A and B are shown apart, each in its own frame.
Chain A
Amino acid sequence: MEEIKLMKGNEAVAEAAIRAGCDGYFGYPITPQSEVMEYLTAENLEERSGMIILQAESEVAAINMIYGAAGCGKKVMCSSSGPGISLMQEGLSYIAGAELPCLLVNVERGGPGLGTIQPSQSDYFQAVKGGGHGDYKLITLAPASVQEMADFVSLGFDIAFKYRNPVMILSDGAIGQMMEKVKFSKPIPRMVNLPKWAATGKKPGRKKNLITSLYLQPQDMEKHNLKLQNKYREVEKKEVRFEKYLCNDADYLIVAFGTCARVSQKTVQLGREKGLKIGLLRPITLYPFPYNELNNMANSLKGIISVEMNAGQMIEDVKLSVNGKVNVEYYGRMGGMIPTPEEVLEVLENKLIKNG
């Protein structure tokens, strides 16, 4: 039975985690996402699902607790914002290298450095192009509503366990803090049977399980990397998700995710009122990026604009997608500023239509 609640994006993540049968949350406070852990610590978790929650001494400790818990085959997650996610990069590389499932939530804030607590999308590169060392990928989901903040928790866990890879929900401070209606589905119980690969105690009849990312011999290391790459090719084939708004007859396309997609949807409406055929492509998975879809769409477009709350990061993937077929421009705000629908339309008109 569905339940409808009015809550903040951060709270929705927490509630969804309990209902998704999450086994553990290990985190550290940082604005603008501390509500995730606060919500969980306020709930009677022992009664609800028995989920474990622990506030670690740092994000470094938190991600390593996640790494340990994930190695037991458990559904575990944590949330943070840019500076904390930076601290977690080593741990994420280890988790990906050891092929463990887990869920991360980055409620982005302005950076670089200590930055600001206002929202941004400037951790796109960090999430999608690899913030940690080595050849690995973070499967990245970009919610654009409080409902998606909730829905992507169980989706994220499913994908994480399917591919034995960390998954990130790349949100921003606006979505984390805004309040909207959320429909929650019935809770599912926590897993009883743990995966065969998990380190849970070597029962008789099987070899010891070792959770590791260390392959000292180069031949072994390359073999392992090829295995990971094959996995990522599967992810790229099967897990691309996006949403299109008024694209069928569009001459000009906005590509935007998260909060910028919400703003841009209004821009499309404003543009259409003026007689401009604008559409919006909202990538839902940032990795895997909808390269093929965008490449196909480019055949009938006169221009594309990438709208982001950063200095121009996703635009590189947009340009890669279209491979020179059509002009790609950028518009963005930084430092916690959120673009308005009107200013996006003005820039689109200037860059794509007047000068295009």
Chain B
Amino acid sequence: MAEYNIDEIIQEKNLVYKKSKIRTDDIMHYCPGCGHSTTTNIIADIIDEMGIQSEIIGVSPVGCSVFIYNYIDIDWHGAAHGRASAVATGIKRMLPDKYVFAYQGDGDLAAIGTAETIHVCNRGENITIIFVNNGIYGMTGGQMAPTTIEKMVTTTCPHGRDIKTMGNPLKITELIADLPGSYYVTRQAVNTPANVRKTKKAIRFAFESQKKKKGTSFIEIVSSCNSNWRMPPVEANKWMEENMFPFYPLGDIKVPKE
């Protein structure tokens, strides 16, 4: 049996995976185990693989991911809360040959930004929207989001979300899929290697689709928010699998026919 010689293994020629060169050296401010972190890495990996660093512009939101522009070495445009898809529209209409994506959380996209989100997809803007849904408002300290599921506890529904007074959790992704302007709509996660690989494929397909000019690609990423859910990261992922995934099932919701 061959001996295990670590020095012979750890050599440049044996490299399998390392942090993308499109990721910067800035330490990400996200909490340990946050889905935003993993998603940010995936986006950087895809931009690197596609070789489009000089052809892509990202629109960053207000929310936990407000500083995403510090972590990926591309041109960025910081949007006001909820407006990222409108900002992305302005950019794409001016620079139609560039790749443009908006990165948003659940409050940004499905509360204050609902009108912009729906109309961008209704117009079928040739952009990609990446929507990280953790069912809570992270940055501001854990308040209820439109996507908070029934009975989930947050600081503004401390006894659990009550449908009668607070409304139903909003499945905005399904609404978007109904619009003719949306081209590719999918719901993914980044908690396991298999899910990470699927998300990578989805984002790559979405970016590549921009060249076809056939409409908006919309990728929801169901994520945990372990800090505001008050659980350690691994447990939060388990809670997400048991509670969020049944309500927000993973998989392709709208796939182009070609």
Contact = CB atoms under 8 A, between A and B. Distances in A.
Interface of A: 23-24, 26, 52, 54, 56-58, 60-62, 64-72, 74, 76, 90-91, 94, 98, 199-204, 208-214
B115 A208 contact: no
A209 B86 contact: no
B83 A64 contact: yes
B199 interface: no
Interface residues of B, number: 30
29 contacts: A24-B90, A52-B93, A57-B116, A61-B89, A64-B86, A64-B87, A66-B90, A67-B77, A68-B79, A68-B86, A68-B87, A68-B91, A68-B94, A69-B90, A69-B94, A72-B91, A72-B95, A76-B90, A76-B94, A91-B80, A199-B75, A200-B95, A201-B55, A201-B75, A202-B74, A208-B74, A210-B69, A211-B77, A212-B69
Contacts of B57: 72, 199-201
A60 B66 CA distance: 20
Contacts of B93: 24, 52, 54, 65, 69
A56 B116 CA distance: 9
B80 to A, nearest CB: 5
Interface of B: 53-57, 59, 66, 69, 73-80, 83, 86-91, 93-95, 98, 115-116, 119
Contacts of B95: 72, 200-201
B120 to A, nearest CB: 9
B78 A54 contact: no
B83 A213 contact: no
Nearest to A52: B93
Contacts of B90: 24, 26, 64-72, 76
A65 B78 contact: no
Nearest to B73: A208
B81 to A, nearest CB: 9
A90 B78 contact: no
B76 A208 contact: yes
B75 A58 contact: no
Contact of B116 (A61, A66, A69, A72): A61
> Which interface residue of A23, A26, A64, A69 has the most chain B CB atoms within 10 A?
A64
B34 to A, nearest CB: 19
A23 B96 CA distance: 13
Nearest to A70: B90
Contact of B56 (A52, A58, A67, A201): A201
Given A54-B93, A199-B77, A203-B54, 13 more contacts: A57-B119, A60-B83, A61-B83, A64-B80, A64-B90, A68-B77, A199-B76, A200-B98, A201-B54, A201-B75, A208-B73, A212-B78, A214-B78
A60 B55 CA distance: 28
